[in-house]
Amino acid sequence: MMNDFKDIKIAVAGTGYVGLSIATLLTQHHHVTSVDVIPEKVEKLNNKISQTSKFQIGIVEHNV
C-alpha cells in the first residue's frame, strides 16, 4: 500500500517545532518542500543551521 504513495510531493507550511517535525518524518518516504513566511527561518534551513535545539544538524542536512 505504501508503494502506491511513494512519489507524492508534499508541501509543509511553517518550519516551527510542528512543521519541521512533520516535514522531517515525511521525508523518510516522500519528497517534501517546507515554506515559511519568516525569511530568517528559511535562510537558516538553507544554510543547514538548526533553528531548534531538538533537531540535530544531520537531520536538517538530510532534508534540505
- Tell the residue number behind the cell numbers 508503494, with chain if given: 3
pLDDT tens, residue by residue, 8-37: 899 999 998 899 889 989 988 899 999 999
Instruction: Return the beta strands (E) in the chain as ranges.
Output: 9-13, 31-35
pLDDT at 45 over 90: no
Q: Where are the domains of the chain?
A: 2-63
Kindly report the pTM of this predicted structure: 0.67
- Is residue 11 within 8 A of residue 33, CB to CB? The reply is yes
Query: Phi/psi at 48 (nearest 5 deg)?
Result: 60, 40
